[in-house]
Structure 1
Amino acid sequence: MAKEIYFRLQESEQSFPQLAEQYSQGPEARTGGLIGPVGLSNAHPKLAQLILNSEPGQLMPPTQIKDVWVIVRLEKFLPAQLDEPMRQRLLNELFASWLNEQLKQPL
């Protein structure tokens, strides 16, 4: 089924949002197939690799990730920016990491 959907997309028989609404089994079915923006570090490694190897607008062939088949089209790549929310997120992650290390040390 994934290959058939892929070929429909390649031939422009149906749009990505139409097919996502019809066949997606996750929340992306309600968003026209769109997910994100999501940091690559939060994605499955196989999915992150697909994204890193694609260009915006490029349709990637069906790929199995665990027990799910995905068809990926990168809409836009947003490079990370060190704005205030990102700065705070990094500080929180560093603090949590430091705290975990402190809790592991014997008294």
Structure 2
Amino acid sequence: MSTALAPSPDLLAVDLLRMQMESMPAEDLQEHIDALRAVLVALVESRHLRPHISLTAAANLDRLIRKLQAKLPYALDLLCSLRVTAAWLDAARQAESEKAGSECRPSRLDA
């Protein structure tokens, strides 16, 4: 049996964006890359947004996909960084969820 987890929606959205960008003509999209970077920085820094990261990240990535007309030479490198960021946020969200779940359950010693 495999213990591998299914990829998060954030990682799937980044993979979709990568595929879309690879097929686009090369032009300037600096403002879109900067906007995405700003959104991700806000998500990383905001504990209040972490529970909603999947919906927020997916919505912003979807909006970016629709706006993209081209790509910068470093765009795929940035996407690799976004993939790592999404994985980190997914792990942080899972750890917080497990911690919250363990705080709500009575311990075996209390029984």
Q: What is the TM-score of this pair, normalised by structure 1?
A: 0.29
Higher strand share: 1
- Choose 1 or 2 for highest CA Rg: 1
Higher helix share: 2
Q: What is the TM-score of this pair, normalised by structure 2?
A: 0.29
The structure whose RCO (Cα within 8 Å, separation 6+) is larger is 2
